[in-house]
Amino acid sequence: MTEHAKLPLQLDPEGMVGGLVREDEGAPIAGASWYAAEAADDGLSYRFPAGVLAEAKYLTADLLVDGDHLVVFALRLQEGGRGPTFMLLFSALNQCQARLRMRLEAVDQNRWRYDREGAWLKPMCAGDRVDLAKVDRMTITVLRKSDRPARFCLTPVVATAVEPERLDAPALPKGPLLDELGQSALHEWPTKSRSAEEVTERLHAQAEEAETCKLPQGFSRWGGCEELRFDGTGFFRTHHDGKRWWLVDPDGFAFWSAGLDCVSVNTVAAYAGLEKALAWMPEEDGPYGDIYWQRQSEARMINYLKANFIRAFGRDDWHGKWSEVTLGLLRRFGFNTVANWSEWQIAKAAGFPYVRPLDFRRGKTPQVFRDFPDVFHPDFEGEAAEFAKQLEETRDDPALIGYFLMNEPTWGFAQETPAVGMLHNTAKCETRLALRDFLKDKYGGDAGLAAAWEMEVTLAAVGEGEWRERLTKAAERDLEAFSAVMVEKLFTALSDACKRVDPNHLNLGARYYTVPPPWALKGMTSFDVFSVNGYQQRVRPELAEVSEQVKAPVMIGEWHFGALDVGLPASGIGHVRDQAARGQAYRIYLEDAAAKPWCVGVHWFTLYDESALGRFDGENWNIGFVDVCNRPYEELCEAARASHERMYAVASGEVEPYDEEPEYLPLLFL
């Protein structure tokens, strides 16, 4: 029996989880209480009658995180003590009031991530689908933290049927969070830039040095290995020499791709609702007006890196100087690839090898689960052809290595397969009708399907209508098999369309976020290179088997390591102690990857640190080779250059990979 409650309803914690301690000190937010967590999994527990959330649309509360390091929280909703558990992961800016505004529709798992709002960062869905009529408990716990205690204040959680107001004037107990150069105002560190004059002097010096920066000795004009040559075709291609996979540059030299992602003027900070957190906001109609930016429905952004270049070179000349400086730095660091998410046009103009992402913007083709399109929709093939037209402008460019079809499809992050997600979230679509026909071919009719699935079910119910039934293991196996059909149809259509437009360049795949499950991998054989993002200490060894199965080499589209010693709240996904350790971690990862005969490149994410205020979704990580004031992290840069100078010797088996591991620390990211 469920119980409906009168809304809004205040949910007060029934107790503490783990070693959480409540403090008596007054909080800077009205109605909030201070708490201190010594360890991950410390937090608060809540109990209430099942059904009280059934009519609610939002959960809301205000919080403020003390200190200057990231704290990641997990809000869990559970059906009874052993039932399914939904999780919402989120964080908040340090020293700034944030408002949690959780849409309870999230428990349907049809979205992976919701929009950042002010100081409330990167709300993401995980765990199971739950029925709000059966949910009777909740916890809010610390999921990740630094080695310092996590201290935060939190108001009571309120369940409401109406949308809570956005927070537009947050408390800032320590004042602005960013200085006029875009650096953290909460942190101090030895290499912090102290004045605009210092930054301008640095940029002018980098501009003067740019032309003298060269790739390592023994590199071809494209960055390939001059000691190892195959047949050149005028474009990049793949080649297996009997021992290992290579890329081959347009002139025929063996090529191993060491790349930097996000080679663009990209340290944007999302500041909507956080205007008072900025020490400097120039007039929008003045010389710095171009530092303000907004993309589609995303929040307003401000770009202090761009401001620093405008201050140094002027509004008309800054971009050309940035291009010269940046390509010079890449050569100095020994990189031979401008990787994904970059302003690839500057690489094209300079003849510098690059990759590019493609953007699949559906028109009439709807989504059936998260970002998975209705691949049996009659307009899908035509929209795939339209998608491929993006390649027309680079079809004849020898500097283009290849293109990525997409990045980390969010359906891949779900615990459910796309077919299961579609069944629960899309009442009517062409792909559900195709699923019905798939099952009809297998079982003949309703009786055969019901017997196989061990539940009351009809083909008509599978084909259309609202679905609320819990699926049996047998049903999930069939839906997994059909998910493989969906994935193959998706990628075959996009790949074939791209090859028709551009037969010259490499299809670099979909940059899956991990090693794909077998049902997904079956549909990924249309790629020339299999790309995956790999945030581990070394490249996953399981990718050797993936390479065998898809009969293609592997490229790592993203990886990185960060630290907490240079003014950023979070390290990033890989975490080490300091900048010297970042250099060690770089060498371990890259040289280990180069030694793998199935790996043809790794691309570091990113060129620049993210803003301490957080980018569009709230990430604020130390993951760059360069900071917001264009100061390189020299220990990391020197380590990268050293590995790049020997990567072809490592790949050829002439020398052993670097093996001085740093101390790898617990993860601190969201």
User: Is the backbone of residue 284 left (phi > 0), alpha (psi -120 to 50) or beta?
Assistant: alpha
392 and 480 belong to one structural domain:
yes
CATH number where 264 lies: 3.20.20.80
Q: How many angstroms separate the CA atoms of 327 and 317, rounded?
A: 16
pLDDT computed for residue 221 by the predictor: 98
- How many structural domains compose the chain? 3
237 and 352 belong to one structural domain:
yes
Q: How many angstroms separate the CA atoms of 614 and 268, rounded?
A: 8
* Averaged pLDDT for residues 7-15: 97
Report yes or no: 604 and 597 within 8 Å, Cβ to Cβ. no
450 and 514 belong to one structural domain:
no
CA dihedral 225, 228, 229, 235 (to 10 degrees): -30
Q: How many angstroms separate the CA atoms of 9 and 161, rounded?
A: 9
pLDDT computed for residue 363 by the predictor: 84
**610 located within any domain:** yes
229 and 127 belong to one structural domain:
no
pLDDT computed for residue 445 by the predictor: 98
582 and 487 belong to one structural domain:
no
Q: How many angstroms separate the CA atoms of 360 and 273, rounded?
A: 31
Indicate the pLDDT class of residue 554, thresholds 50, 70 and 90: very high
Q: How many angstroms separate the CA atoms of 68 and 321, rounded?
A: 34
Q: Which residue has the tokens 């007060």?
A: 12
**439 has a pLDDT exceeding 90:** yes
Encoded amino acid at 524, one letter: M
Nearest to 307 by CA among 322, 288, 332, 333: 288
Residue range(s) defining the domain that contains residue 80:
9-160
Q: How many angstroms separate the CA atoms of 388 and 503, rounded?
A: 11
**582 located within any domain:** yes
Helix ranges restricted to H, 540-653: 543-550, 579-595, 634-651
Element (H, E) at 279: none
Q: How many angstroms separate the CA atoms of 2 and 352, rounded?
A: 64
519 and 576 belong to one structural domain:
yes
The DSSP secondary structure of 500-524, one letter per residue, reads HH-SSSEE----BSSSPPHHHHTT-
**191 located within any domain:** no
Encoded amino acid at 607, one letter: L
Q: How many angstroms separate the CA atoms of 108 and 110, rounded?
A: 6
Q: How many angstroms separate the CA atoms of 101 and 61, rounded?
A: 7
292 and 221 belong to one structural domain:
yes
Query: Which residues have CB under 8 Å from 387's CB, separation 6+?
Result: 358, 359, 360, 361, 494, 497, 498
What are the start-end ranges of the E strands in 256-390? 257-260, 269-270, 292-293, 301-302, 337-338, 354-357, 367-369, 372-373
Element (H, E) at 254: strand 253-255
**188 has a pLDDT exceeding 50:** yes
**581 located within any domain:** yes
**360 has a pLDDT exceeding 90:** no
Among 160, 181, 207, residue at a domain's last position:
160
Q: Count CA within 13 A, CB hemisphere, residue 43.
A: 18
Report yes or no: 342 and 606 within 8 Å, Cβ to Cβ. no
484 and 518 belong to one structural domain:
no
Q: Residue 475, class by beta-carbon neighbours within 10 Å (0-12 exposed, 13-18 middle, 19+ buried)? A: buried
553 and 598 belong to one structural domain:
yes
pLDDT computed for residue 296 by the predictor: 74
Report yes or no: 269 and 301 within 8 Å, Cβ to Cβ. yes
Percent above pLDDT 70 for the chain: 99
**1 has a pLDDT exceeding 70:** no
Among 132, 160, 188, residue at a domain's last position:
160
Percent above pLDDT 90 for the chain: 97
User: Is the backbone of residue 249 left (phi > 0), alpha (psi -120 to 50) or beta?
Assistant: beta
**305 located within any domain:** yes
Encoded amino acid at 584, one letter: Q
pLDDT computed for residue 2 by the predictor: 55
pLDDT digits (tens, 9 = 90+) for 502-549: 999 999 999 999 999 999 999 999 999 999 999 999 999 999 999 999
* pLDDT, mean over the chain: 97
**Distances 585 to 145, 288, 604 between C-alpha atoms, Å:** 21, 38, 12
CATH number where 99 lies: 2.60.120.430
Q: How many angstroms separate the CA atoms of 137 and 80, rounded?
A: 7
440 and 372 belong to one structural domain:
yes
**169 located within any domain:** no
What are the start-end ranges of the E strands in 269-407? 269-270, 292-293, 301-302, 337-338, 354-357, 367-369, 372-373, 400-404
Phi, psi of 206 (to 5 degrees): -65, -35
pLDDT computed for residue 3 by the predictor: 62
Indicate the pLDDT class of residue 636, thresholds 50, 70 and 90: very high
* Averaged pLDDT for residues 102-125: 98
pLDDT computed for residue 5 by the predictor: 73
**180 located within any domain:** no
Q: Which residues pair with 21 in a beta bridge?
A: 36
**Distances 588 to 310, 584, 594 between C-alpha atoms, Å:** 37, 6, 10
230 and 304 belong to one structural domain:
yes
pLDDT digits (tens, 9 = 90+) for 326-348: 999 999 999 999 999 999 999 99
**526 located within any domain:** yes
**397 has a pLDDT exceeding 60:** yes
Q: How many angstroms separate the CA atoms of 189 and 172, rounded?
A: 22
pTM of the shown model:
0.97
533 and 645 belong to one structural domain:
yes
Query: Which residues have CB under 8 Å from 523's CB, separation 6+?
Result: 484, 485, 486, 487, 488, 489, 490, 491, 492
